[in-house]
Amino acid sequence: MPTEATPSRSPLNRLEARLAGYRPTTRIRERGCVLAVGDGVAWIGRLPSAALDEVITLEEGSRALVFHLGRELVGAILLHQSDRLTAGTGAELSGSRPSIPAGDSLLGRVVDPLGRPLDGGEPPADCIRREIFGPSAPILARSFVNSPLYTGTTIVDTMIPVGRGQRQLIIGGSSTGKSSLALDAVISQKGNGVLCVYVLIGQKRSKGVAIVETLREAGALPHTTVVVAEAFELPGLKYLAPFAGCALAEEWMQRGRDTLIVYDDLSLHAQTYREVSLILRRPPGREAYPGDIFSLHARLLERSTVLAASHGGGSMTALPIIEIQQGELAAYIPTNLISITDGQIYLDQQLFSAGFLPAIDITRSVSRIGGKAQHQRVKEEVGRMKLDYLQFLELELFTRFGARLEASVEARIRRGRLLRELLRQERRAPLPVEYQLAWLIAFNEGMLDKKKPEEIAGVTKRLAAAVAGSSCTLESDRDAWLALVSQALADDGGMNGQQA
């Protein structure tokens, strides 16, 4: 027997309600035609109403994105290409812009720039769709960078600090540890409540698999989403990848969460943009890049910020990576990104070859706003350490000529060499900020002055173990920290004595 509610839900009633509201009108629908296709792009005619960044659906199942508007033809980059796509295929405007599913169900997943799973799992469920080319937050919705983001790298957390919402460029030559530095930053967020997005643009599949496995082994995959556009993918997907990852992080930021996004790397993204632009006959500029390459990356990185408390208080910290050739910092794309970001971490090929890891060149690295976000206790201990270290490097260079030195200069060189050993760090071994405070206090109090450089590695391990087993925090009294450090170094001296 039908209940009272049943009739309103029946198909006949729904059809009747639909027909009651139906009014016959004239509908105009444009139907275009693919005139040429190849190299990941398509030329389409008879679509006079097409708009930039609008998705085009092709009748055999392919999809494309409007990238160039001509007088007669539309240039589109393919987002999905079937084997049946040829000249003569029909095309229609979808009226929508590209979007990606966003939400907590994407944590721990590996997806492509359109949100399709690449890890063999089911498509993400219970997600909203978010526009990939969304606008950045308005000025009135933003706040100042005032909270630190710890990367787990000693040099960065002490001398080149990064704040939440900052855009810090990682720049260096090939195989100098750029991705390792970014991976350590992602791993270091484990348990800190910071959600991460790692975007791989135009990388080999072997590198993508290695990064995912590293994150899984370190227990960092549950708070991370990996967006992958491999080297053999269509240029359209590689073009979309950083914007898609940004949209994911932006969704969490607007929910009040702190996020970290890594773009690995933007030099390949720029090359993809140049390739597509040249194929679509856009006028080339410097180094054959199109004239809007600067605004492309500025539009992307401008979306990283700190939201005001009235807008949720979330943040998005960006670590874009870029590769330079033969140490040439003055190339077009590197100078563009240096001017867009809030500082850079420069990794040097010679330091890497000499075995100084991480191979960060402190003389060429800078953080323009991170100091304002650094914790006051760490900031007080670091003080002039960066300047003193740079002076030590100059003095050490001077001693190579065999000049006779004063006792004070010899003491400064000896302390500089100890400091250099303290800054060494193995990869995949991020260290907490409490450890940074411990070694800073030990160094500033002269507790390490009698140590030899080759003994520093053992001292740092003992300090790290002592910090891990203590209850001291950054808010603890300095006397408590002095007692902890003294005890750790005393135990170290006892062990050395027993070994002797």
Catalytic positions, please?
368
DSSP 362: G
Within 10 angstroms of residue 366's Cβ, the number of other Cβ atoms is 17
Cβ proximity of 33 and 88 under 8 Å: yes
In angstroms, rounded to a whole number, what is the distance separating the alpha carbons of residues 215 and 221? 5
3-state secondary structure of 486: helix
Within 8 A by CB and 6+ apart from 263, the residues are 199, 201, 242, 245, 269, 300, 318, 319, 320, 321
Spatial separation of the C-alpha atoms in residues 265 and 263, rounded to whole Å: 5
CB 102, CB 126: distance < 8 Å: no
Q: Are 229 and 200 in contact (CB under 8 A)?
A: yes
3-state secondary structure of 290: strand
Look up residue 136 and give its amino acid.
S
Q: Which two tokens stand for residue 450?
A: 């009698």
Q: Tell me the pairing of strands 366-367 and 343-347.
A: antiparallel
Sign of CA dihedral 90, 92, 97, 100: negative
Cβ(344)–Cβ(289) below 8 Å = no
| Neighbouring residues of 122: CB distance < 8 A, sequence distance ≥ 6 | none
Q: Which of 392, 263, 391 is nearest to 316 (CA)?
A: 263
Axis-axis angle for helices 293-301, 332-340 (nearest 10): 30
3-state secondary structure of 76: strand
Distance of CA 127 to the CA centre of its chain: 23
Q: Which residue do the tokens 């599949």 mark?
A: 205
Length of the chain as a residue count: 500
Q: Beta strand 55-58 with 41-45: parallel, antiparallel or unpaired?
A: unpaired
What is the torsional sign of CA 431, 167, 277, 65? positive
Contacts of 310 (CB under 8 A, 6+ apart): 141
Q: Where are the beta strands (DSSP E) in 39-152?
A: 41-45, 55-58, 63-69, 73-80, 90-93, 99-102, 110-111, 128-131
